[in-house]
Amino acid sequence: MHAPITPAIADFIHRLPKTETHLHIEGALPYELLQKLDPEKFSQQPECWSKDFKWKCFEDFEAHLIDHALQWFTKPDRYYEAAQVIFAGHLAQNIRYVETSFHAGMIEFLGIPGREILSAIRSAAPKGLEVRVFMGMARNCYSEVLQPVLDECLTWDGLAGIDLHGVEYLPLEDWTPKLWDKARAHGLETKAHAGEFDGANKVREAIEVLGTKRIQHGIRAIEDDAVIELAMEADATFDVCPISNVKLDVIDRLEDHPIRKLFDQGIRCTLSTDDPFSFGNTVEDEYAALSAGLNFTNEELKQIAKNGFEVALVDEATRAKWTAEVDAI
């Protein structure tokens, strides 16, 4: 991968007030918690954390993640405990604002009420970190068990929004645009994973059919100028995770990552880790990758940080305060 950054740039990245707006809570499971459960079984650092590791395919990655997540996330208390460690990691990186999603499938797998997962994650938010919690769901999740959950989740106290997760090439089903419309009518934010494993057409679908402006990844929009134009017109934001894209082999080399072109063309991009359990990355690593691998200047990194604050679900005074703090660096 890319060359290391200088200590001065590392220090700059560390001091920069930052956001993380694309983070799966199950995919952020702190390894130390598994080690606590079974020190022998988890004595080695995971192979997928090594710099040049590549996942063979999305299904392998997903199976590995779910297999480990199910060993830890067995009850709401476990979400609380994991979230506490995860959020402490954010504070240690000077991150002020986090959007994280839990997967609706876990409600079905484990029989845990979604409301309790939501409340456990929210109550783990420490002072100094604003946390917004989303529920993510697969394109084909409208099952007998989840149907009533999806029908009532929009009224749950403290749910910030919904996100479309999982295998991207599945077709969009009828219930999805209706739920996305209803969510916005309830004042919730809506997101969708698109333009990662499938092409620019899925970014178009997310904007035109789902009506969302918060695209998770979105990077393959680069394959179609008309979709870039559409995203600009819609004032869309791409919550990008470059190290995830390289390790899942969506992009061969970091140096070829489209975030450089997307940013230059004026698409609002933010920076996140996606699933640090499976990639061994931190938000500071993502900034370092942009600096060393894609020649982002410190001023450009400041803009990336400000982009996160620009879309944060906070009042204008808080947004202005954070933006001024970035400008002051």
Q: Which residues are catalytic?
A: 196
Q: How far is the CB of 271 from Zn ion (least distance, A)?
A: 13
For Zn ion, which is the closer residue by CB, 26 or 284?
A: 26
Number of residues binding to Zn ion, judged by CB under 5 A: 1
Is the separation of the CB atoms in 294 and 259 below 8 Å? yes
Q: How far is the CB of 66 from Zn ion (least distance, A)?
A: 14
Phi, psi of 20 (to 5 degrees): -135, 120
Residue nearest to Zn ion (CB): 274
Q: Which residues pair with 161 in a beta bridge?
A: 134, 189
Phi, psi of 103 (to 5 degrees): -95, 125
| Binding string, residues 128-167; x marks residues near Zn ion by CB under 5 A | ----------------------------------------
For Zn ion, which is the closer residue by CB, 241 or 326?
A: 241
Token digits of residue 319 = 């947004």
**Cα–Cα distance for residue pair 290/296, rounded to 1 Å:** 6
**Cα–Cα distance for residue pair 243/289, rounded to 1 Å:** 8
Subset of 246-275 contacting Zn ion (CB under 5 A) = 274
Subset of 272-311 contacting Zn ion (CB under 5 A) = 274
Q: How far is the CB of 324 from Zn ion (least distance, A)?
A: 30
Closest CA to 114 of 133, 97, 129, 86: 133
Is the separation of the CB atoms in 210 and 284 below 8 Å? no
For Zn ion, which is the closer residue by CB, 22 or 268?
A: 22
For Zn ion, which is the closer residue by CB, 205 or 274?
A: 274
For Zn ion, which is the closer residue by CB, 12 or 49?
A: 49
Q: How far is the CB of 95 from Zn ion (least distance, A)?
A: 17
Q: How far is the CB of 23 from Zn ion (least distance, A)?
A: 8
- Residue 17's contacts (CB-CB under 8 Å, 6 or more residues apart) are 94, 95, 96, 305, 309, 322, 325, 326, 329
Token digits of residue 190 = 């809506």
Q: Is 222 strand, coil or helix?
A: helix
* Chain positions contacting Zn ion, by CB under 5 A: 274
